[in-house]
Amino acid sequence: MSVPHDSSSSQAPLSDLTLLGNSKQSFPNSPSASILETFPNRNPDRDYWVKFHSTDFTSLCPVTGQPDYAQIDILYVPGQRCVETKSLKFYLASYRNQKDFNENITNRIFDDFKKACSPKSLIVEAQFHARGGISLTTRVQYPQSAAPLSIYQG
């Protein structure tokens, strides 16, 4: 049985979303938590997981300037706010010209996401493609817990 939500009460907060429906925006030049737009969680008393899966993340090696490609997974249990998907796309694209180590990038994504929406739980996992025959996976999570199993699954 579906429970209808009152859509009229949610219209005003959605006016804060500037990227959704705006085709004239261009990708930002550098990452910032302020790029991430949020909207009210209609079910803040229910713990449910949201997963974002991006397969086309790109950043730059801080030493060589060569591109680093990654798959980024963000899983979170929303608190009072949810992250709007298009703003996340713009946020992740802002790393295209950023030179930094993979571990630092993963931690920055985690910090910015946490700052933007104050989730109850958060996991950010970045699986960087192999360079020189070595791939790298970094996982940051809140709250802290035991060793993350997904890193060891292949």
Candidates 16, 56, 61, 100; catalytic one: 61
* Rg over CA atoms, the chain: 17
CA distances from 21 to 40, 54, 77, 91, 100 (A): 18, 20, 25, 16, 32
Has 61 been annotated as catalytic? yes
Has 68 been annotated as catalytic? yes
Candidates 6, 45, 47, 68; catalytic one: 68
CA distances from 103 to 99, 106, 109, 142 (A): 12, 5, 10, 16
| Residues marked as catalytic | 61, 68
